[in-house]
Amino acid sequence: MKPIFTFPQPRRRLAEQFFHLKTRNTCPNKRSHRNEWMGEFTDFQYKQKVTAEYLKLEKGEGLADLALATHGVNNGQAVKCGPVWSQVSGSAQDRRAVLQMIDELNRFHGLPNGMFSCDEHLAGRDPSQGSELCTVVEYMFSLERSVAITGEASLADRLEKLAFNALPGTLTDDMWAHQYNQEPNQVECSLHHKPWVTDGPESNLFGLEPNFGCCTANYHQGWPKFANSLWMLSGAQGDGREDGLVAVAYAPCEVQTLLKNIPVRVTEETDYPFRGQVRLTVVPDSPISFCLQLRIPGWANNAAVLVNGERLASPVPGTFARVERTWRAGDRVEIDFPMRVRTSSWFNDSIAVERGPLVFSYGIGENWVKLGGNGLGSADWQVFPTSPWNYALDVDMNSPETTIKVAESPMGEGPFTGRHTPVRLLAPGRQVKSWRADDGAANPLPQSPLVSEEPKETLTLIPYAAAKLRITAFPRLKS
């Protein structure tokens, strides 16, 4: 059974305004036998927060099978095992295993930033739990490999969610410091023991190698491999030549490859994920007939595709739209993804707010306190809140755009940073005074819907990655 897509071998170039690329190989996963992983997710047992007592860590069993099976990074790596093994087995069921594994992780440990909790082990759905940075990049790589093998568009939806939220959300703007664990509801980054399952008190500090050095060595693979996966080739023809190009994910870039032995270059101009317009210019060395496939995200209802100004049939969300034609130098493809505000439901019936592939958070005021430097240009930092954070939203779940307003501003350098956010959302909310923090971590979300007698305020929500202290899953007020 052949992969649906493969990776173009010639160079790809990603716009510098988005990503500074560094590379590194990662270590193989010790627990990788396909029967163990797919069997565990066929009858998934780890439905609750995994504790140190449950793992018997006090008895020195930290590397036992139970601890490895519930370890976040192992699960992030294992997500791809079904599709990868299907290349040997030829089984369609093995290919589909990736969807079941993601569904189980999301159902019992899912977080609104696209991750599952793992600090260090599976930790339930409370958004005050963390996710290890190593898991983010390994999960992304699993999704990239899995979409290449299966051609499943929803995997690329989740890939973009991680690449545009969870990955930059745990890095400082200059990438000189990162966190070991990030939290969707992150109200303080300090030396504290809560709420980590098995990690230490440095877990969500920003620094060179907080808690443990693995993420320092590992996070550099996230964006380079994502850049490498923006474009893929569709399945080979009988003569061994590739028959088309596939836009798997979107970002400003250029791809150069060979199709039927003819050099082809595609330049992609876009402000995605902050804007919904994508412009492709196709430049083959000579006219060539091939199929261009364009991923239509599952959230992109009423998307439009135009070729040289002519609108094509409306594409279906959650699929790859196919454009088959003879391409000539200068042909242009325009894609418009309507980016409507939408909400999703999470722990204790809380809500998160999304627009396109971006998740939005309430950015808490930040006071960065330096713990010390190392002489290498890096330092460790604690971050303390300087403003209230305990807010509930008063939004219409069925029609969020009637209560949440969109404010856009020009694109600038570092759009994932807090210095400049190209898009903001304005949402009504009220404080919930009874919702507080303990030992640097927000207490579990109160059950929604709830009532607050505090004055109504307009809250500014910014992209998840721009807010290093943030609330992402909000209690919901009674209508």
Q: Cα(178)–Cα(170) distance, rounded to whole angstroms?
A: 6
Lowest mean pLDDT among 56-60, 116-120, 141-145: 56-60
Domain boundaries, the chain: 5-226, 230-336, 341-471
Parallel/antiparallel/unpaired status of strands 262-270 and 253-259: antiparallel
Q: Cα(250)–Cα(295) distance, rounded to whole angstroms?
A: 9
The residue among 317, 261, 315 whose CA lies nearest residue 292 is 315
* Element (DSSP H or E) covering residue 333: strand 331-336
Supply the pTM of this predicted model: 0.92
What are 70-88's pLDDT values in tens digits? 999 999 999 999 999 999 9
Q: Is the pLDDT of residue 141 over 90?
A: yes
Phi/psi at 425 (nearest 5 deg)? -120, 140
Q: Is the pLDDT of residue 238 over 50?
A: no
pLDDT (0 to 100) of residue 15: 37
Q: What percent of the chain has pLDDT over 70?
A: 91
State the DSSP code for 163. Answer: I
Cβ-in-10-Å burial (0-12, 13-18, 19+) of 312 comes to: middle
What are 409-419's pLDDT values in tens digits? 999 888 888 88
pLDDT (0 to 100) of residue 236: 56
Mean pLDDT, residues 250-266 taken together:
95
pLDDT (0 to 100) of residue 18: 32
Mapped onto helix, strand or coil, the DSSP state of residue 233 is strand
Helix ranges (H only) for 90-124 are 92-109
Contact 120, 465 (CB under 8 A): no
Q: In the predicted model, what is the mean pLDDT of the chain?
A: 90
Residue 438 vs residues 29, 50, 149, 193, 296: alpha-carbon distances, Å? 35, 20, 45, 10, 43
Band (7; pLDDT cuts 50, 70, 90): confident
DSSP β-bridge partners for residue 458: 428
Mean pLDDT, residues 282-303 taken together:
97
Mean pLDDT, residues 368-389 taken together:
88
Lowest mean pLDDT among 162-166, 400-404, 408-412, 417-421: 417-421
**Would you identify the CATH topology of the domain 230-336?**
Maltose phosphorylase, domain 3 (2.60.420)
Mean pLDDT, residues 279-300 taken together:
97
Amino acid at 2: K
